[in-house]
Amino acid sequence: MHLYLLVAAVCALAGAASGIAIGLRRGRRPVPVQDPRELADLRRQLVTSARLAAVGELAAGIAHEINNPLAFVRSNLSQLEAIWKELRLLPADPAHAELMRDVDALFEESIEGVDRAAEIVRSVRSIAHAGSAEREPTDLRPLLEDVLHVASAQLRSRVNVLREFDESLPRVVCAPQQLRQVFLNLVINAAQAVEPGGHVLVATRPDGDHVIVSVADDGCGIPLHLMDRIFDPFFTTKPVGVGTGLGLGIAHQIVSSHGGEIQVVSTPGHGSVFRVRLPVEPIERIN
């Protein structure tokens, strides 16, 4: 996604320059395409995009380094649990029964916690990794679970996440890494739109020869006069420093390149629904 961010920003700046060049070639008085304030904002967004790319690389490296000690901790906990279970077979003082049950629970909770941490690290690595743009048959359900794991830090503390995944959902031909970025952007946007205690629903369903992935929230919604601009590069309603305004524009480009579309329904004060409609994989390619 970082490459898309940089390309979008460069194209925006290049477009402004090309507009002035065309005016000069035709002998007309050049008409500025962007005023100085807008150009300064584009430059600031380009710098932000470069920083995001660096942060992505840093996140991938940290996740890799964390993964190794997690594996050691998981292995050692499993061995300790096995030893403990053998010790429990020995005669014990009945007065210690409750303490032994507490130790059983501690092992179970510790292993569960380490497994969850390892799953989050794996998801971060998959999101941060540049990946391949090559299309392949993909099951969207585990892909969406990866996205929710990565977004869990923003979701768990303030948002109730609901899932409605259709078990019969067919695979789609896609570049998985690109779609991860699309859905991550939609989920984070939904989480930021709701008040604490609000709800975000991620759902999938087949639709003829397409599949639909929807991300719905019961947040503030999108004002009607802004609906036509939400996919414009650099357009954002978020405060400075919170977003680059590139997310939905890039998401729209990625989905369009897959032969799909993004549909938006929003009611101010009641929430929004973003539906990503993608073509399914032809049956002959699965076989």
219/273 same-domain check: yes
Q: Which tokens go with 30?
A: 């050049």
Strand ranges in the chain using DSSP code E only, listed in sequence order: 136-138, 159-164, 172-174, 198-207, 210-217, 261-267, 271-279
- Looking at the structure, tell me whether residues 110 and 170 fall in a common domain: no
Does 176 share its domain with 118?
no
* Same domain? 271 vs 152: yes
Same domain, 195 and 255: yes
Spatial CB neighbours of 53, under 8 Å, sequence gap ≥ 6: 2, 3, 5, 6
Domain with 236, as residue range(s), is 136-286
Q: How far apart are CA 10 and CA 4, in angstroms?
A: 10
Q: What is the mean pLDDT of the chain?
A: 75
Predicted model pTM: 0.56
Question: What is the mean predicted confidence (pLDDT) over 133-160?
Answer: 83
Query: Do the strands 159-164 and 136-138 form a parallel or antiparallel pair, or are they unpaired?
Result: unpaired
Query: Does 31 have pLDDT greater than 70?
Result: no
Shared domain for 113 and 197, answered yes or no, is: no
- When divided into structural domains, the chain yields a total of 2
Assess whether 121 and 223 both reside in one domain. no
Q: What is the pLDDT averaged over residues 229-242?
A: 58
Specify the pLDDT at position 251: 83
Query: 141 and 280 share a domain?
Result: yes
Question: Which of 76, 93, 128 is where one domain is finished?
Answer: 128
In this structure, the answer to whether residues 92 and 172 fall within a common structural domain is no
Residue that wins the pLDDT comparison between 123 and 246: 123
pLDDT tops 70 at residue 155: yes
> Residue 261: pLDDT band by 50, 70, 90 thresholds?
very high
* CATH code of 228's domain: 3.30.565.10
Sign of the dihedral through C-alpha 196, 198, 202, 208: negative
Query: Is 19 or 212 the better-scoring residue by pLDDT?
Result: 212
- Where is the domain boundary, 128, 162, 192? 128
Instruction: Please give the average per-residue pLDDT across 106-123, as a whole number.
Output: 80
165 and 270 co-located in one domain: yes
Choosing from 79, 111, 128, the residue where a domain stops is 128
Looking at per-residue confidence, does 263 or 61 come out higher?
263
Domain identity same for 85 and 159: no
**Residues 155, 103 share a domain:** no
Query: Which one, of 29, 125, 24, lies nearest residue 68 by Cα?
Result: 125
Which is higher by pLDDT, 50 or 284?
50
Q: Whole-angstrom Cα distance, residue 54 to residue 97?
A: 53
Three-class DSSP category at 207: strand
Percent of the chain residues topping a pLDDT of 70: 67
